[in-house]
Copies of this chain bind each other. A is one copy, B any other.
Amino acid sequence: MLDATEVPPSSLDPQVARRLKRDANGLVCAVVQQHDTGQVLMVGWMDDEALARTLTTGRVTFWSRSRQEYWRKGDTSGHEQHVRGVALDCDGDALLVRVDQIGPACHTGTTSCFDGRDLAVVTSVGGAS
Q: Could you tell me which A residues sit within 8 Å of B by CB distance?
A: 13, 16, 23-24, 29, 31, 33, 37-40, 42-43, 54-59, 80, 82-91, 93-94, 96, 100, 102, 106-108, 110, 113-115, 117-125, 127-129
- CB pair A90–B118 under 8 Å, yes or no, is no
> Can you show 10 pairs from A to B with CB atoms below 8 A apart?
A42-B94, A58-B123, A82-B124, A83-B121, A86-B121, A89-B117, A90-B106, A90-B117, A91-B113, A100-B124
- CB pair B16–A119 under 8 Å, yes or no, is yes
Tell me, rounded to whole Å, the shortest Cβ–Cβ distance linking A127 to chain B.
4
Copies of this chain in its oligomeric complex: 2
- CB pair A119–B58 under 8 Å, yes or no, is no
Decide yes or no: A83 and B114 within 8 Å by CB, A24-B24, A38-B37 being known contacts. Answer: no
Q: Which residue in B37, B57, B108, B122 is a CB contact (below 8 Å) of A55?
A: B122
Contacts of A57 in B (CB 8 A): 122, 124
